[in-house]
Each structure stands twice: as structure tokens, then as C-alpha cells.
Amino acid sequence: MKNRTILFLTGLAALGTLARADVLLTESFSYDNGALITLSGGAWRNHSGTEALAVVGGQAVINQGDATGGREDLNRLLSSTFDVTADNTSAIYASFTVSFSAPPVGVGSYFFHLKSTVANQFYARVGATVEGAAPGSFRMSLSNEAWSSAGTVEYPMDLALNTTYMVGIKYDLATDRTTLWLNPESEASTSITATDVAAYGAGELIEAAALRQGTSVTTGAPGVLTVDNIVVATTFAEGVAVVPEPSTWALLGLGTAGLIWAARRRK
Ligand SMILES: [Ca+2]
Ligand SMILES: [Ca+2]
């Protein structure tokens, strides 16, 4: 094999490393403004509510508001499913960015979760609440499956409006518990882990990531927020630490250089 062929293949291998099969979903909402189901060609699917979940400015808008008809909750399939009863080893990592333009109401509610093949079986519920927060601020809130004032755990940091935060989560099928990080630098960064017990049905599969809107008179609402840059994967590195590491940039540079060099040699 000639040197330039080897270098070309090295470049391809480096690029291939960046698109690992362990990534289950990516969504950056790079659409025009409008209804997410339509814009995504049906990739996002309705599982509840009727008033459209909208994309504005390349981000999904979560606005539970006070609409009595119920606003849309949408889900998008992952590239793999996870049998929650039989699988006691996998972990599902996810991350996304959020920015709130209106604060949560009262104890709040959840706006992101993993969805199973069985109706209303939602795991790794992520929401926002004013519980535990200083006046005028709010906190991220988490549960494994239940959602109640007693059942959720809050991340120990007061948050502000119109500020972008990066949320990372892990749903661990070994422990059936969810961990949440906020703007993490690594998996060892400050986290919270929900403690409520998730109940599973036989054959139930986690199949999708979901965004939730809807009225919730008794438990409040998470406020008005945008969600963007959703990634779901089976490792922290791919699902949460999605800002490329220096080593990744080096690989990318090597791969690109290999391709350019090989192209030049063919002239
Ligand atoms: Ca976007
Ligand atoms: Ca359940």
C-alpha cells in the first residue's frame, strides 16, 4: 500500500471516529420557524396535546402557559431501544442547552424525558422549580419517574432568566436512577441523583427522547424556555461532553490534512 493511500485511510478513520454508532440522537432544530412535527418531516412525533410545539430561531420553545386544551408533547426515536427490565448494564446519556424567558411556577414540572414504548411511561424527567431557590431565581429539578414536590431532587445552584445552561443527564439501567449535571466539565463534576423508584412493565423499551408542554394546574409549570442541541448517546463523552476535546480537534485536523494531502498528490 502506498504511503498516500495509508495517509488517506488514516484520515478517513479519524473522521469516522467522530461519527460513532454510540450516538443515538442529535437534534439542533436547524429549521425555519414553525411547528416542529411539520418542520422535521415527522421525525418528531406527537404523544400528547394538540397546540403545536414550535421552533423559533433554531430552538424548540417550551411554553406550558395556561392553555386548557393541552399543548403538544413530542418525542423522537433513538437509533436503539433499551429493555428497561432485562438490561441491567446500559446507560443512556443526554445533553441539551436551555434558556428561560419566564420562571417556573411554584414547584414546577418537567419538560424533557426519555419515553418508553408503553403510554405515559416517562423516565429521567428533567424540569424546573422555584423550590429551594433564592427569590427571583429557580433551579433544575430531576426525578427517575415520579413527579411531585417530595419526589424530585434539585440541583444546588440558583439559575437566572435569559441565561444559557447546558444540562447533562445519565439514566443508568444498572441502578435505575438518573443523574444530572449543569455545565459539567467532566463526569466527576457536581451532580444530583434522583431517588424515586422507577416501576417497569415487562417488555417495556425506552425508545425516544421527549419534550413536554401542557397545563399542570396542581404541580405548576417549568416556565417558558428554549431547548437546543439535544444529543443522546451511550457514553458521557459522546452524550454530555459534546464540546470537542483538544484530542478530537487534533484528530479532525489530521484527518482533514490527510484528505487534502491525498487530493494534492492525485493532481
Ligand atoms: Ca439550534
Ligand atoms: Ca414505569
Give the ligand whose atoms come closest to the C-alpha of residue 197: 2
pLDDT digits (tens, 9 = 90+) for 5-26: 555 544 444 444 455 569 999 9
**Listed range (33-42, 93-102, 119-128, 245-254) with the worst mean pLDDT:** 245-254
Confidence class of residue 218 from pLDDT cuts 50, 70 and 90? low
**Cα–Cα distance list, 263 to 8, 47, 145 (Å):** 9, 49, 53
CA–CA separation, 33 and 87 (whole Å): 39
For residue 126, being part of any structural domain is answered with yes
Provide the terminal-to-terminal Cα distance of the chain, rounded to the nearest Å: 19
Q: Give yes or no: residues 114 and 141 share one domain.
A: yes
Residues in contact with 106: Cβ distance below 8 Å, sequence separation at least 6, in sequence order = 129, 130, 219, 220
C-alpha cell read off for 60 = 424548540
Count the domains in the chain.
2
> Are 71 and 63 a contacting pair, CB within 8 Å?
yes
User: What is the distance in A from the centroid of ligand 2 to the CA of 118?
Assistant: 9
Q: Give yes or no: residues 158 and 219 share one domain.
A: yes
Asked whether residue 75 carries a pLDDT value surpassing 60, the answer given is yes
pLDDT digits (tens, 9 = 90+) for 31-49: 999 999 999 999 999 999 8
> Are 148 and 127 a contacting pair, CB within 8 Å?
no
- For residues 225-264, b (16+ Cβ closer than 10 Å) or e, as one string? bbbbbbbbbbebbbbbbbeeeeeeeebbebbeebbeebee
User: What is the distance in A from the centroid of ligand 1 to the CA of 192?
Assistant: 27
User: What is the distance in A from the centroid of ligand 1 to the CA of 28?
Assistant: 4
In this prediction, residue 245 carries a pLDDT of 45
Confidence class of residue 148 from pLDDT cuts 50, 70 and 90? confident
Give the ligand whose atoms come closest to the C-alpha of residue 97: 1
User: What is the distance in A from the centroid of ligand 2 to the CA of 85?
Assistant: 10
For residue 239, being part of any structural domain is answered with no
Confidence class of residue 81 from pLDDT cuts 50, 70 and 90? very high
DSSP state of 56: E
User: What is the distance in A from the centroid of ligand 1 to the CA of 227?
Assistant: 8
pTM: 0.83
> Structural domain of residue 44, as residue ranges?
23-234
Give the ligand whose atoms come closest to the C-alpha of residue 27: 1
Q: Give yes or no: residues 122 and 1 share one domain.
A: no
